[in-house]
């Protein structure tokens, strides 16, 4: 077929804890001094917004992830999803070493770095006070996959 018909999805929320763990792992493997590891963290923290590393495995069919896939981030409050915000795929974030994550790379998956703003255009928070989970929705053609994280992982 000209496109994949089935996908597996994995995602890593680049919280400050994940960024520091990734920088520490790089520091240990490359025997970097503390100031170089701190520079890796500082480079990652310059990005404003929420960064999620989205990994997609096109399992059946062409094995290609189409360019027009979309990612949305939305809060879950009292079991109901709130207003979503669309993320922007930023390939340049591949070069920010602390965004590599801490898990060993699985080359079956294509990796994408998606930036989500902290606020909607009207200034309201994407993840408002009282949310219990954050949900990532990835849409490829007519299929959607989701990943959820509890608010406690974001220090709330």
* Residue appearing with tokens 């299929």: 143
Query: ∠101-105-111 over CA atoms, to 5°?
Result: 75
Tens of pLDDT, residue by residue over 37-76, are 999 999 999 998 999 999 998 876 667 787 889 999 999 9
In this prediction, residue 1 carries a pLDDT of 47
* Residue appearing with tokens 């929420």: 50
C-alpha–C-alpha distance, residues 8 and 59, integer Å: 7
pLDDT at 142 over 80: yes
Tens of pLDDT, residue by residue over 14-43, are 999 999 999 999 999 999 999 999 999 999
Distances (CA, A) of 76 to 21, 28, 59, 126: 27, 37, 29, 11
Please compute, for residue 136, the number of CA atoms within 13 A of its CA located in the half-sphere on the CB side: 25
Tens of pLDDT, residue by residue over 109-137, are 889 999 999 999 999 999 999 999 999 99
- Plot region of 101 (φ>0 → left; ψ -120 to 50 → alpha; else → beta): left
C-alpha–C-alpha distance, residues 26 and 5, integer Å: 36
In this prediction, residue 9 carries a pLDDT of 92
What is the end-to-end Cα distance of the chain in Å, rounded? 45
In this prediction, residue 61 carries a pLDDT of 62
């Amino acid at each position: 077929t000209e496109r994949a018909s089935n996908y597996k999805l994995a995602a890593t929320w680049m919280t400050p804890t994940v960024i520091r763990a990734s920088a520490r792992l790089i520091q240990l493997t490359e025997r970097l001094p503390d100031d170089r590891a701190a520079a890796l963290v500082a480079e990652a923290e310059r990005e404003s917004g929420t960064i999620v590393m989205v990994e997609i495995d096109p399992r059946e069919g062409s094995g290609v992830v189409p360019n027009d896939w979309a990612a949305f981030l939305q809060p879950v409050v009292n079991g109901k999803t709130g207003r979503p915000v669309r993320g922007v795929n930023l390939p340049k974030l591949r070069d920010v070493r602390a965004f590599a994550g801490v898990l060993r790379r699985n080359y079956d998956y294509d990796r994408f770095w998606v930036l989500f703003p902290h606020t909607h255009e009207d200034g309201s928070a994407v993840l408002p006070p009282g949310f219990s989970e954050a949900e990532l929705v990835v849409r490829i053609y007519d299929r959607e996959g989701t990943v959820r994280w509890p608010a406690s992982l974001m220090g709330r």
